[in-house]
Structure 1
Amino acid sequence: MAQILIVDDDKHIRNLISKYLGGEGYSVKQAGNGIEALEELEKNDYSLVVVDIMMPEMDGYELTKKIRKHYQLPILMLTAKSQIQDKETGFSLGTDDYLVKPFELKELLFRIKALLRRYHQVAEMTIKIHSVVINKAAYEVNINGSTILLPLKEFELLYYLASNANRVLSREQLIQHVWGSQYDGSDRTVDVHIKRLRERFTKITDDFSIKTIRGVGYVLEVKK
């Protein structure tokens, strides 16, 4: 069951949305401001967050920025503002969709379903290792909000190692999966790409490491 967090300083709106979504089979919790929302996100796993822009203490823009820095989940922004620059600000900070008040609860439901479906499809191509997110849909690596773009073969090698985390893979397995069975070059290519991956990631994260298993191949070990 998807769990949704409603963040709005208007208690009436929170209760209205919560009751409606609860009737549609969702588990719903509430937060009255951005600070409460961040506390909730630390305590529970949520599938989606509905965020109002105009709130005291921490507005929806700032909350969206903080959510994007630490979590990979869809954000639907609610606002009374309809100007294009406000929408532009929301999308630039990482919101996934935008709904202007007043709105129909049915439209809110349709948008939530679409976002959850889209994120589910992406999640199937995403590997999360603590603060590291390897996204094959976008061919990018995200670490604590920072995006790293790798050359194609480096990314595919990292993704395959991560999808088989803590499992030793031979050079032959890596070549066949990443370069293909028709590859007729040297298996030293694997060593070169492994070296580049180590150089890139050793300095910026200790969530995982790529170890050499002498005479066999390599393993991506996840920090416990």
Structure 2
Amino acid sequence: MDSDAARVLVVEDDQVLRTCIEEGLVDAGYQVRSASDGSGFAAVVENFRPDVAVLDVMLPGSSGLTLARHLRDHTQTSVLFLTARDAVADRLAGFDAGADDYIVKPFVMAELLARTRAVLRRSGKLRSGRLQVADLLVDEDAGEVIRAGRPIAVTATELRLLTYLARNRGRVLSKTQILTQVWGYEAYDPNLVEAYVSGLRRKLEANGERLIHTVRGVGYRMSESTPRMRAS
């Protein structure tokens, strides 16, 4: 894990949802700490020093609103609320408690990641969006892809996919992981990933050697060298 990665604290009492959120954030490159309620919240915040807290509003014991007020009074941590309640009064209560953003359940992981990134960007805590793999430069913030000094035109989805692969360079990523992170859902035709990877390869390989490798039966890996597993 990159020690310079933004730190995200997740407080959600639903274990399945909490695990999904934590895995999605870790997969996106964040440092993550999670909890099921507000027990020992002040100590966790002091030790972990989160850049952003993702808080469920309805928690056992102290509510997410109470936890957010603590963050506002004692830290510079940004707050992103999760809730099943979407009435205007509920949203206003959240913002009055110090929310920077508000997500209504159910939601897709891609939305949470996008909102987390937006909150971090507004607070000035977002790490650089410039990624380098061999002679390939991916600048997520500027929306630019350059290889060997030559700009490559990509769509918004191709940029998200390429950024995810580059941020996780050296790791083998499954099609399910890629679908979740780039498109926001897990159950879909895996051929979608294959089609986009194929398109990116054509564009990238017009200016150099292959960087996106297929690991048969597993997924894809971005690296300067071919994986030792059976790959093409």
Q: What TM-score, normalized by structure 2, do the two folds share?
A: 0.51
What is the aligned-residue identity percentage? 38
In the other structure, the counterpart of 2:140 is: none
Letter in 2 for 1:114: A
Unaligned runs of 5+ in 1: 123-224
The question of whether the paired residues in 1 share the 8 Å contact of 2:68 and 2:97 is answered with yes
In the other structure, the counterpart of 1:36 is: 40
Residue 2 (1) aligns with residue 6 (2): yes
Residue 52 (1) aligns with residue 56 (2): yes
Match of 1:34, SS state, is coil
How many angstroms apart in 2 are the aligned matches of 1:17 and 1:88?
24
Q: 1:10 offset after TM fit, Å? A: 1.1
Q: 1:9 offset after TM fit, Å? A: 0.9
Deviations 1:141-186 (A, max 9, x none): xxxxxxxxxxxxxxxxxxxxxxxxxxxxxxxxxxxxxxxxxxxxxx
Q: 1:99 offset after TM fit, Å? A: 0.1
Unaligned runs of 5+ in 2: 127-232
- Between the two proteins, the alignment pairs up a number of residues equal to 122
In the other structure, the counterpart of 1:86 is: 90
93, 100, 118: which is aligned to 1:114? 118
Larger Rg computed on CA atoms: 1
The question of whether the paired residues in 2 share the 8 Å contact of 1:5 and 1:50 is answered with yes
Higher helix fraction (1 or 2): 1
Which runs of structure 1 show a deviation greater than 6 angstroms over 4 or more consecutive aligned residues? none
- Pick 1 or 2: higher relative contact order, CA cutoff 8 A, min separation 6: 2
Q: What TM-score, normalized by structure 1, do the two folds share?
A: 0.53
The question of whether the paired residues in 2 share the 8 Å contact of 1:7 and 1:37 is answered with no
Query: What RMSD in Å do the two structures reach over aligned CA positions?
Result: 1.5
In the other structure, the counterpart of 1:96 is: 100
Relative distance call for 1:32 and 1:121 in structure 2 (3 A) is closer
How many angstroms apart in 1 are the aligned matches of 2:26 and 2:104?
22
Relative distance call for 1:30 and 1:121 in structure 2 (3 A) is closer
Match of 1:43, SS state, is helix
66, 83, 88: which is aligned to 1:62? 66
